[in-house]
Chain A
Amino acid sequence: MATVTNPSAASTGSLTAKALREATFTAVMTFLMFALFIGLKTDQNMRNELILVPRWGMLAILVVIAFVGRFAMVAWLQPWRTASKAAKSAAPTVDEDAGFVKRNFSKLAILALVLYPPIILWIFGVQGSLKYIDNFGIQILIYVMLAWGLNIVVGLAGLLDLGYVAFYAVGAYSYALLSINFGFSFWILLPLAGILSAFWGIILGFPVLRLKGDYLAIVTLAFGEIIRLVLINWQDVTKGTFGISGIPKITLFGIPFDASPNGFAKMFHLAPSSAYYKVFLFYLILLLCLLTAFVTIRLRRLPIGRAWEALREDEIACRSLGINTVTTKLTAFAIGAMFGGFAGSFFAARQGFVSPESFVFLESAVILSMVVLGGMGSLTGIAIAAIAMVGGTELLREMDFLKHVFGPDFTPELYRMLIFGLAMVFMMLVRPRGFVGTREPTAFLFERKAVSGAFTKEGHG
């Protein structure tokens, strides 16, 4: 009867007991597991003898962490989660009006990006702003653009492309080689680099048309590596691993950004600084990103975009409806590659130097994980993922205070991949469909309802 009259007290008591029991068990397991790994360390002494160095302190810390962690999980986290779940399911599902911020999110985001350079300039001054505009702003926006480009191939058409960085490389080298050898300006080479990349997208597309899933992924991966190896080994043209340096800067309708008398700084009577060029580059890449977003949004409402999404859902059904899946896939590859090419030529112009080092497989993987983390097909989600991933990396460089915690030898950016991996595993556990797990329909009769990620498919290849 006592348990019936006062269930909460009884359950609290049993919960603590249960938590203690489980925590003790976990601590013992931790001790057994790490006793030899962490508790003992083999070392050599002065006489070159193998000795065992006990590290009981560290072992004790681990055991305590395991104990406290398990206790906290059982005693507090789990009841809290079940309670919040119950509260969620109990709450009536009222469609509350989305707030002002939510409704106008993209407009506000664009406004914030447009205002970003002046605000940074105002806060940090001309020289101090360099880091924020270049490392954070431009760097992130390049990746946003790349991820949006890849989104067309992976997120919309459902074709898993692990070699996307190849098109980025084609764009970058197109700009580098053509501007150095023929002296063409950026404004001619930008579309040209896009066209060349699209062309290579089609070249990749043809052999992989019949492939699906893992096979498609492997072949695209190989394609990316082939491009990189050609860049390394075709030394007469690409100068191999030395890379190409001295790539001309972009001019603003003929006004160069340098200290010359007719340069930008002199013309507007400003103190010469490279910051103006960076601000200019920031707005340029912002424009390119907006172009990518605009084209993607428009394409989704056009038959070709719908055909891409239909292709992701069911290829055989597509063919039964009279859709030529060959041209549909090729256009997806070509348009995705084209944006990669734009980003590549911008990258070459911004760095002034390109080498095969910049186009390794890791870049493809990072761009792909942005698309997956963001939620396939969602531009907003992908942008957030790009900011988190690139911005997070840059932030690690800034975390000097960690040196005080872990000692002067600690370089946080070396832990980048570890943190990446952990963050990704965590994200995929919490939100398996990415930041934005729903799909916006491209047309509606009565009201626009987001499609739950449970219904959309990831594509078959």
Chain B
Amino acid sequence: MSAVAKPMNNDAILKVEHLSMRFGGLMAINDLSFEVRRGEITALIGPNGAGKTTVFNCITGFYKPTMGMISMHQEGGKSFYLERMADFEVTRDAKVARTFQNIRLFSGLTLLENLLVAQHNALMKASGYTVLGLLGFKSYKDASKEATEKARYWLEKASLIDRADDPAGDLPYGAQRRLEIARAMCTGPELLCLDEPAAGLNPRESQELNKLLRSIRADNGTSLLLIEHDMSVVMEISDHVVVLEYGQKISDGDPAHVKNDPRVIAAYLGVDDDEVETVRHEVEEGAN
């Protein structure tokens, strides 16, 4: 990554400690610990079925973990234990937003409306929990204008402004991905969790996505945690990579380190455990 201009405050924004998740007899995540540092792009990678999305669902409150702690430390100093919170509270109070692997947009609402729904809690307060808004108070009109401006900002940033008044379901796939990210950003998160944002994108769309993610981090100061299969995306934009296999962490470090880790190579290429040493040997030879 290019040198960061301003000194980044590199303390952990999200700490996952001894996280375990059991579905019946299946241990989907087994004693997983890792950190997401503030102002960084952290990637969570691993082969299919490694438990990446389960980790995401635990962090965002959609699953209650069997064991472990997930703590979120906000810029202002407030801390939240995410495993104790309901899914909507994780977004509303702890300021952790997420997207989904299979895009979940409000397909019958327009792009603008999608982004306004994301600002629900702020607008709800401004409308006096509906009462003042129903009576036509000015405070709601102002807040509504402000929310529209915020939506316009994100539509421009995701290069979707031309289609602001079209239904979200009418967008092509790549644009839907960008809209989902813009929508998550409209909730004003400090940590944005993206579940396979580059899945199904062509190389050009993938580049646009990288640009968008980088600018989210640089301009909005949002930390990112992403699950990704596309190694080119991971290696290009992430500062920190965590590798999962069978629910356990097998590697953790910067992209260059992870790329050369024999256990990661073994996991991705599918080598038996006793062959790991051989692979390591080959890698080291190749590096020399």
List the count of A-B residue pairs having beta carbons below 8 Å apart. Answer: 148
A444 at interface by CB-CB < 8 Å = yes
Report B-chain residues with C-beta under 8 Å of the C-beta of A313: 105-109
In the complex, identify which listed stretch (A140-148, A207-215, A450-458) lies at the interface while the others stay far away. A450-458
A75 at interface by CB-CB < 8 Å = no
Report A-chain residues with C-beta under 8 Å of the C-beta of B109: 306, 309-310, 313, 441, 451
Bound CA span A307–B170, Å: 20
A306 contact from B97, B117, B152, Cβ within 8 A? B117
Bound CA span A322–B119, Å: 9
The answer to whether B113 and A443 touch across the interface, beta carbons within 8 angstroms, is yes
The answer to whether B91 and A456 touch across the interface, beta carbons within 8 angstroms, is no
B148 contact from A306, A325, A443, Cβ within 8 A? A443
The answer to whether A306 and B169 touch across the interface, beta carbons within 8 angstroms, is no
A178 at interface by CB-CB < 8 Å = no
A298 at interface by CB-CB < 8 Å = yes
Report B-chain residues with C-beta under 8 Å of the C-beta of A320: 60, 62, 87-88, 91, 97-100, 104, 184
In the complex, identify which listed stretch (B5-13, B63-71, B159-167) lies at the interface while the others stay far away. B159-167
The answer to whether A441 and B105 touch across the interface, beta carbons within 8 angstroms, is no
Report B-chain residues with C-beta under 8 Å of the C-beta of A301: 144
The answer to whether B187 and A321 touch across the interface, beta carbons within 8 angstroms, is yes
The answer to whether B165 and A317 touch across the interface, beta carbons within 8 angstroms, is no
B124 contact from A298, A304, A448, Cβ within 8 A? A304
A322 contact from B105, B106, B121, B140, Cβ within 8 A? B121
A290 at interface by CB-CB < 8 Å = no
Bound CA span A442–B133, Å: 14
Report A-chain residues with C-beta under 8 Å of the C-beta of B144: 301, 443
The answer to whether A309 and B92 touch across the interface, beta carbons within 8 angstroms, is no
A108 at interface by CB-CB < 8 Å = no
The answer to whether B140 and A306 touch across the interface, beta carbons within 8 angstroms, is no
Bound CA span A443–B146, Å: 13
Closest chain-A Cβ to B281's Cβ sits at a distance in Å of 45
**Known A321-B118, A323-B117, A445-B165: A314·B112 in contact at CB below 8 Å:** no
Question: Can you name the residue of chain A whose Cβ is closest to the Cβ of B92?
Answer: A322
Report A-chain residues with C-beta under 8 Å of the C-beta of B164: 444-446
Interface size on A, residues (CB 8 A): 41
**Known A303-B124, A323-B88: A446·B165 in contact at CB below 8 Å:** yes
The answer to whether B167 and A321 touch across the interface, beta carbons within 8 angstroms, is no
Report B-chain residues with C-beta under 8 Å of the C-beta of A303: 116-117, 119-120, 123-124, 127, 130, 133
Bound CA span A448–B164, Å: 10
Bound CA span A442–B117, Å: 11
Closest chain-A Cβ to B139's Cβ sits at a distance in Å of 12
Question: Can you name the residue of chain A whose Cβ is closest to the Cβ of B162?
Answer: A446
Closest chain-B Cβ to A328's Cβ sits at a distance in Å of 9
The answer to whether B104 and A457 touch across the interface, beta carbons within 8 angstroms, is no
The answer to whether A298 and B112 touch across the interface, beta carbons within 8 angstroms, is no
B134 at interface by CB-CB < 8 Å = yes
B183 at interface by CB-CB < 8 Å = yes
Report A-chain residues with C-beta under 8 Å of the C-beta of B54: none
Report B-chain residues with C-beta under 8 Å of the C-beta of A77: none
A416 at interface by CB-CB < 8 Å = no
The answer to whether B105 and A321 touch across the interface, beta carbons within 8 angstroms, is no
**Known A320-B87, A323-B88, A457-B107: A444·B112 in contact at CB below 8 Å:** yes
B110 at interface by CB-CB < 8 Å = yes
Bound CA span A110–B92, Å: 42
The answer to whether B120 and A445 touch across the interface, beta carbons within 8 angstroms, is no
Report B-chain residues with C-beta under 8 Å of the C-beta of A397: none
The answer to whether A455 and B169 touch across the interface, beta carbons within 8 angstroms, is yes
Report B-chain residues with C-beta under 8 Å of the C-beta of A319: 62, 87-88, 91
Q: Which of B136-152 contact A (CB under 8 A)?
A: 136, 140, 144, 148, 151-152
Q: Which of A429-448 contact B (CB under 8 A)?
A: 439, 441-448
Bound CA span A312–B124, Å: 19
The answer to whether B116 and A306 touch across the interface, beta carbons within 8 angstroms, is yes
Question: Can you name the residue of chain B whose Cβ is closest to the Cβ of A304?
Answer: B130
The answer to whether B170 and A302 touch across the interface, beta carbons within 8 angstroms, is no
Bound CA span A313–B112, Å: 15
A449 at interface by CB-CB < 8 Å = yes
Bound CA span A241–B76, Å: 65
**Known A322-B120, A446-B165: A441·B110 in contact at CB below 8 Å:** yes
Closest chain-A Cβ to B153's Cβ sits at a distance in Å of 12
Question: Can you name the residue of chain B whose Cβ is closest to the Cβ of A458?
Answer: B108
The answer to whether A307 and B117 touch across the interface, beta carbons within 8 angstroms, is yes
Report B-chain residues with C-beta under 8 Å of the C-beta of A447: 165
Bound CA span A449–B110, Å: 9
Q: Which of A299-344 contact B (CB under 8 A)?
A: 299, 301-304, 306-307, 309-310, 312-314, 316-325, 331
The answer to whether B187 and A298 touch across the interface, beta carbons within 8 angstroms, is no
Name which of A319, A321, A443, A448 has the most chain B CB atoms within 10 A of its CB.
A321
Closest chain-A Cβ to B149's Cβ sits at a distance in Å of 10
The answer to whether B116 and A321 touch across the interface, beta carbons within 8 angstroms, is no
A299 contact from B88, B116, B134, B167, Cβ within 8 A? B134
Question: Can you name the residue of chain A whose Cβ is closest to the Cβ of B95?
Answer: A322
A295 at interface by CB-CB < 8 Å = yes
Report A-chain residues with C-beta under 8 Å of the C-beta of B97: 320-321
Closest chain-B Cβ to A298's Cβ sits at a distance in Å of 6
Q: Which of B77-115 contact A (CB under 8 A)?
A: 87-92, 97-100, 104-110, 112-113
The answer to whether A322 and B88 touch across the interface, beta carbons within 8 angstroms, is yes
Closest chain-B Cβ to A198's Cβ sits at a distance in Å of 13
Report A-chain residues with C-beta under 8 Å of the C-beta of B130: 299, 302-304, 331
Closest chain-B Cβ to A303's Cβ sits at a distance in Å of 4
Bound CA span A439–B166, Å: 12
Closest chain-A Cβ to B15's Cβ sits at a distance in Å of 21
The answer to whether B117 and A310 touch across the interface, beta carbons within 8 angstroms, is yes
The answer to whether A451 and B167 touch across the interface, beta carbons within 8 angstroms, is yes
Report A-chain residues with C-beta under 8 Å of the C-beta of B166: 449
| Given A445-B155, A455-B167, 20 other A-B residues pairs in contact with their CB atoms under 8 A | A303-B120, A303-B124, A306-B120, A309-B109, A313-B108, A313-B109, A316-B100, A316-B104, A318-B117, A320-B87, A322-B120, A323-B117, A323-B120, A324-B88, A441-B113, A444-B110, A445-B164, A446-B165, A452-B167, A455-B107
Which 7 pairs across A and B sit closest by C-beta, in order of nearness? Answer: A456-B108, A322-B91, A322-B92, A313-B106, A455-B169, A317-B104, A303-B123
Q: List 7 A-B contacts (CB under 8 A).
A: A299-B134, A304-B124, A321-B184, A443-B148, A455-B168, A456-B107, A457-B107
Residues of B within 8 A of A (CB): 60, 62, 87-92, 97-100, 104-110, 112-113, 116-121, 123-124, 127, 130, 133-134, 136, 140, 144, 148, 151-152, 155, 161, 164-170, 183-184, 187
